[in-house]
Structure 1
Amino acid sequence: MDFRPGEEQAAAAALAARVFRDLSTPERLAAAGSGSDAELWKALCDCGLVAAVEDTGLLGLVLVLEEQGRTTAQVPYAATCAYGILPVAAHGSPEQRRRLLPALGTGEAVATGAFPERGRVSAAPDGRLTGTVPWVPWLRDATHVLVPDADRDLWLVRTDAPGVAAEPVETTAPWSAGRLTLSGAGAERLGGGRPDAYASVLAAARTAFAGLQAGVCAGSLARAVEHTSTREQFGRPLAAKQGVLLRAADAHMDTEAIRVTAYEAAWRIDEGLPADGHALTAAWWASEAGKRVVHAGQHLHGGAGADLEHPVHRHFLWGRQLDAYLGCGSELLAELGAHLARPEDDPDRADAPGCARTFRAGAAEGGRA
């Protein structure tokens, strides 16, 4: 395994760090409220960071999402890439790739996904969808929603299509979320009905959001280190106290565990190796350890950590939201256990031979189209 980023991946991460640092300030975040920062989103699209995901792959996306997480920038970057660019590149038809990828890369189109499955959506023989998804992240910004039906076929739905309704929903973190209601809505199938398409998209999305959580935790811990190093008590920095050092050290180890498991899952998916169990592992660390880190970040700020307006509180909200989005630790462990218990030659096993290679093969085919 080699997690060292390539030249393009490192350049994308460095550019993202600069853009997020310059434009995602606490003042701008406060002004955005529960919505997205349209100016920041335009800047990310204009400098090519959205379209570049086709070339930098999932590991490159994870690296950029780490930088987003450090500043909790309110843009639909993770959703558009994980539920738009990567699935269309891997599973879209040549016509879908030609039509959708340029629009997604420039920000003309914004994607999100009804993942993991929340609610039930059924598809009629003519491809019309009916059902409700209680909340979808960044739905209020989206032009397209990737929706799995009861049979886990993938459907791409336009949010302005007849039969599609989106009602704003406020979540723990300000993710411009909404309730999606489909009433005989027209949709286009993605993946040609291949049974492995759903598992491929879900594994990549779990890995991407785990990378986002790694950044959220790193940002929370950085703020805590700065606070405890400069705040003095009885003439000594708080960081000199053993209890503070141990709490920060535990948070650092948890953050590194989230990062390395996300990197491994992303690298395996990019290399076409079986990775669904690794994606579940990354999601578990991001959920279980992530909430420990953001709690520690608040606690290490003392009374300031209880201030809802303090920047560290935003990391707390994002960490808890990602915990809820990925699924609680016990749910993920149960799914991982069931995954590991299935025999390797079980055709329903998500990383059965050939299935985990679908993303790489589909992306390569897209590059030739």
Structure 2
Amino acid sequence: MDFTHTEAQQDLEQLTRSIAEKLTTPERLKELDSAEDRFDDKLWKALADAGVLAAALPESVGGGGFGILEQCSVLQQLGRPLSPVPYLSSIVLAAGALAEFGDEGQRELARRAGAGEAILTVALAEELNLDPAQPVTRAERSGDGWSITGTKITVPAATLADAILVPAATSDGVAVFVVDPSAPGVTVTRQLTTDFSAESMVDLAGVSTTEVLGGVERGAEVVDWILARAAVGLTAQQLGTLERALELVAEYARERVQFDRPIGSFQAVAQRLADGFIDVKAVRSTLWQAAWRLSENLPAEEEIRTAKFWAADAGHRVSHTVIHVHGGVGLDRDHPVHRYFLAAKHNEFALGSATEQLRRLGQSLADVPA
């Protein structure tokens, strides 16, 4: 395995970072706090105009032909300033799945997303269901199409989306349907989330559609493809968030003086920061191992769950270190550091907590023949 970033990764990292850090300022984030949907349209347009959105999509949909490694580099840089844009849900997951498994019309939708002309999303989470690969939402055949009934929660950018990919159970197994949010029977309700990101509950009451991504016979494959990239992409975003959070708290520990000494010189503080450094390195190494295996089409389930475990477990510790070392300042909503705590906690529990990842890893090991 080679952890050296490709030339395309390095170029995308630099380009994305320059755009994101210029536009995602604490002032802009504070402005978006009062918006109905926490979405930075100016940043999204800038990323589209610079070719960042399309770069890591297949050439078949007008993209640059790069893949998951380059997408993770973009997500890492967007995670650093906490950029409120749906790159993971719209580009990596929805557009990527449409390009990989879709027909000509669906690939055109992916092309529009890469050009910044459309926003897409994927509805994975359900209440009281820890396994998105086995959805409770159901789809029944209805004439020449399907009728979908169920409820999805914490759907990213659903109020902004032109199409939603909805995994649902059928009599022939799981399938992924392309749903128009404006279709009869679809109700989108904004939800209040930990980090105030634009997420919604999507109720589907007998929603009609004829679009099945990849066909029912490939439904399980499509869902597994999406879930793998969702976990890896979320870990990449968490890596950027934790990297920047650790930088901020280290700077504070050097500058904050107590008893005539920088607080970073106190053993307890220094040890917390050292532990945070190790945690971030663990997230980084497990992320790139999982992403590399995906890019090489190698089995990666255990590596993906290991990476998501570290994103959750390290996210918990680093986020609390940031707040504890900052003291009262860390709880002040006028200070930008509190946003890193909220973002890290959101990423910790999205797609399964550390405990859930360990449980599934343990089951994988138990299933190995003796």
Quote the residue 1:123 is aligned against: 139
Q: Give the equivalent residue in structure 2 for 1:355.
A: none
Tell me whether 1:159 sits opposite 2:159 in the alignment. Answer: no
**TM-aligned CA deviation for residue 343 of structure 1:** 4.5
Higher relative contact order (CA 8 A, sep 6+): 1
Deviation at 1:191, TM superposition (A): 2.3
Unaligned stretches of 5+ residues in structure 2: 58-64, 130-135
How is 1:305-344 mapped onto 2 (pairs within 5 angstroms)? 305-343=330-368
Work out whether residues 126 and 151 of structure 2, in 8 Å CA contact, stay in contact via their aligned partners in 1: no
Aligned equivalent of 1:108: 117
Q: Determine the structure 1 residue equivalent to 2:214.
A: 191
- What letter matches 1:232 in structure 2? V
Pick from 35, 39, 43 the counterpart of residue 38 of structure 2: 35
Segment of structure 1 superposing worse, 210-219 or 151-160: 151-160
Aligned position for 2:83: 73
Q: Which one of the candidate residues 217, 221, 229 is aligned to 2:246?
A: 221
**Alpha-carbon separation, structure 2, partners of 1:307 and 1:270:** 42
Shift of 1:89: 2.1
Distance 2:334 2:299 in 1: 43
Q: Provide the rounded CA distance (Å) in 2 between the counterparts of 1:95 and 1:143.
A: 14
Verify the 8 A CA contact 1:53 1:85 in the aligned structure 2. Answer: no
What is the aligned partner in structure 2 of residue 276 from structure 1? Answer: 301
Residue 196 of structure 2 aligns to which amino acid in structure 1?
P
Superposition TM-score, scaled by structure 1 size: 0.89
Cα deviations by residue, 1:171-200 (Å, 9 ceiling, x for unpaired): 001221111011122331112221322112
Q: How does 1:17-96 map to 2 (within 5 A)?
A: 17-33=17-33, 35-54=38-57, 55-96=65-106
Are 2:93 and 2:229, in contact at CA under 8 Å, matched by a contact in 1?
A: no
Q: Which stretch of structure 1 is more off in the superposition, 185-194 or 65-74?
A: 185-194
For residue 50 of structure 1, give the secondary structure of its aligned residue in structure 2.
Answer: helix
CA distance in 2, matches of 1:86, 1:303: 43
- How many residues in Structure 1 have an aligned counterpart in Structure 2? 343
**The residue matched to 1:140 in structure 2 has which SS?**
coil
Is 1:176 paired with 2:182? Answer: no
Whole-angstrom distance in 1 between the partners of 2:71 and 2:365? 27
Give secondary structure in 1 for the equivalent of 2:4: coil
Deviation string 1:110-144 (CA, Å, 9 cap, x unpaired) is 12212245463111113221111132122222222
Cα distance 1:328–1:278, how it changes in 2: closer, same or farther (>3 A)?
same
Q: Secondary structure at the match of 1:141?
A: coil
- The TM-score normalised by the length of structure 2 is 0.89
Q: What secondary structure sits across from 2:283 in the alignment?
A: helix
Tell me, in whole angstroms, the C-alpha distance in 2 between the residues paired with 1:336 and 1:86.
26
Residue 39 of structure 2 aligns to a residue whose secondary structure is coil
Q: What do the CA deviations read for 1:299-347 (whole angstroms, capped 9, x no partner)?
A: 1112211212321110100111111213121111111222333348xxx
Distance across 1 between alignment mates of 2:342 and 2:303: 26
Report the equivalent of 1:290: 315
Residues 235 and 311, structure 2, Cα contact 8 Å, conserved in 1: yes
Structure 1 stretches of 4+ moved >6 Å: none
Q: Distance in 2 between matches of 1:295 and 1:141?
A: 32
Which amino acid in 2 is paired with 1:252? F
Kindly report the root-mean-square deviation, in angstroms, between the aligned alpha carbons of the 2 structures: 1.6
Unaligned runs of 5+ in 1: 345-369
Q: Is the 8 A contact 1:57 1:270 kept in 2?
A: yes
Q: Residue 123 of structure 1 aligns to which amino acid in structure 2?
A: A
